[in-house]
Structure 1
């Protein structure tokens, strides 16, 4: 076992988070999406026994208490995903995706007496099937907001446009507003930003790389705390953790596999056992475990791999801020840590969600001859 070495945390860059007394109320929605797919479709290299990736899908209900406006950020996978554009369904089946969705987001909201007529806008982080849900289940008065370049890339919808993964029902009858690149006039961290309500309570961030028009949300949950809705900036915690700003500690308690038969919840996990799994063992405490998978033919889940890598580096800077909780769309390791809809997420700091959830992704691997 490696000798314990003290690692100094590198001070992260100043994010220059804007000041404002205004907040929004945030509720994290478990969209009941469950997906299994090949891990190497997203991640490189293959580590340990993780050959299949389990993905959930988080969405968010954002409410501005001053204006009364409500919006939903992302919708997960539509309940009847077999009714996606036919080429999309065929691609998912060919790639071995196994998908189950119990309820649509509109159903989840209505069950807790949130009137759909009160939802002013749906914001898509991007146009991939596991984020667009089924907007047709919302009233036509609910507008659709998308990131720069989305309309030119995806309209007209399928089947008129065989290259599109959207269908006519996704946009029919409702206002579709594309945020132009010029509207991102602010800068937060390394990302360009738009003050959505013009009151400092909620920002849209231009986070390029994964898809054309990929955007994230940054919600002010108290005067000095935020939730970053990370969408598909990454697909596993090991893609942005650890980092020079947040090094892997010498030990973790509770154990990241504390719910398994090999480790009890009160056991301490020595982090030296992860050295042998890391693709660069000499840097296992300060360098993330995974990169974006790029196939031999150059294909990838990222539209622009270099931009996507730069965006992950930007995400690391937000993750290093004690007052920012990063919630990426498919981070199943947060389940059981965070409160989900209908509960509110504004008091996340009081619940220590960030500290409790940060290293849980390490429990995805089993290590022979070790309790992990």
Structure 2
């Protein structure tokens, strides 16, 4: 695994972006669908579905990274399922949808693509490599009865298919595209979960970044702990409810539940692995996850994955 000190982040070009996280509903699934091995008491994941608004006031540019859950189940994708609970679409939060220059789909799954048809034709839709050549997702339904996407997402707007084959720069061993050519929002090739899966790297200050990990992982236990971020010997102040609780070694408290406790590597081995159900390409999925670990270990990068319920305890969300 690479050392985080070797992570070369893009140079500052005088432009930053403000990122807002939008909470677009909940998904309840058996944990085994997303992560393995099974752990007692962690059978169901009731997780949020985040989408993100990036705003560059200096250049007057706004971009959406994902649109959350598709809400119009009955007319777009069939009967409602109890496992998905969505509120109003994130588009309802904007007074002027015409201000959004582009929608970037991290990938084509139902809990990320939302409803681009609500946005004006001036808003372009950015998709991943080979998107348009995959008959399972393009064209959309009903033009293509077997498609899992909807044609009205594409009608009348520019659909930009990314090509990372000649991309410069490379960021964290991932090929990257500078979305607006001014250094504040990069799209990173991160396939494995799906063939068109991408992450985004947003510069929030001159030397700090936010990595939008989408579905590169569905739980932080897939990329923590690692040799780069091992379980600590102690935590100060205590994480326990009562300040006068008996002091324990934080690492030792978690070691027994780690899948590598018998090998003595519990403090440096992630608690979970990605479920095979969540992979279209296991090798690419692992490569993306390894890159995610390096970003996560950098003091200059905050990683947020699309379904990270721990964020709900620390951030005020729209």
DSSP-derived class of the 1:222 partner = coil
1:67-112, CA deviations, whole angstroms, 9 ceiling, x for partnerless residues?
Answer: 21111111110233344434xx68xx5xxx61111110111223xx
Q: Corresponding residue for 1:56?
A: 48
- Say if 2:273 is the partner of 1:291: yes
Q: Is 1:316 matched with 2:293?
A: yes
Does residue 1:35 correspond to 2:27, yes or no?
yes
- Structure 1 residues 303-342: aligned runs within 5 Å: 303-341=280-318
For the pair 1:85 / 2:77, whether they are aligned, the reply is: yes
In the TM superposition, residue 255 of structure 1 has moved relative to its aligned partner by: 6.0
**Are 2:269 and 1:276 aligned?**
no
Contact 1:31 1:75 in 2 (8 A): no
Assess if the C-alpha contact under 8 Å between 2:17 and 2:184 holds in 1: no
Q: Secondary structure at the match of 1:32?
A: strand
Corresponding residue of 2:90: 105
Partner of 1:191: 174
Q: Distance in 2 between matches of 1:13 and 1:40?
A: 34
More divergent stretch after superposition (313-322 vs 77-86)? 77-86
Task: Select the residue among 9, 20, 29 that pairs with 2:12.
Answer: 20
Cα distance change of structure 1 residues 265 and 28 upon mapping to structure 2, 3 Å threshold: farther
3-state DSSP class of the match of 2:144?
Answer: coil
Q: Which of 139, 146, 154 matches 2:120?
A: 139
In the TM superposition, what is the alpha-carbon distance from 1:161 to its structure 2 partner?
2.8
Q: What is the total number of aligned residue pairs between the two structures?
A: 312
Distance, in Å, in 2 between the alignment partners of 1:22 and 1:208 is: 30
Contact 1:184 1:206 in 2 (8 A): no
Q: Quick one: distance in 1 between partners of 2:243 and 2:152?
A: 47
Match among 64, 67, 77 for residue 59 of structure 2: 67
| CA deviation profile, 1:136-188 (whole Å, cap 9, x unmatched) | 11112111011111121221212443442101122122111111133522101
Task: Please state how far the C-alpha of 1:66 moved relative to its aligned partner.
Answer: 3.1
Matches within 5 A, 1:113-124: 115-124=96-105
Q: So what's the TM-score if we normalise by structure 1?
A: 0.78
Contact 2:214 2:306 in 1 (8 A): yes
CA distance in 1 between counterparts of 2:288 and 2:299 reads: 19
Q: 1:204 to 1:266 in 2, by over 3 A?
A: farther
Q: Is the 1:34–1:100 Cα contact (8 Å) retained in structure 2?
A: yes
Q: TM-score, normalised by structure 2?
A: 0.91
- Residue 232 of structure 1 corresponds to which residue in structure 2? 215
CA RMSD of aligned residues (A): 2.2
| Partners of 1:220 and 1:227 within 8 A in 2 | yes
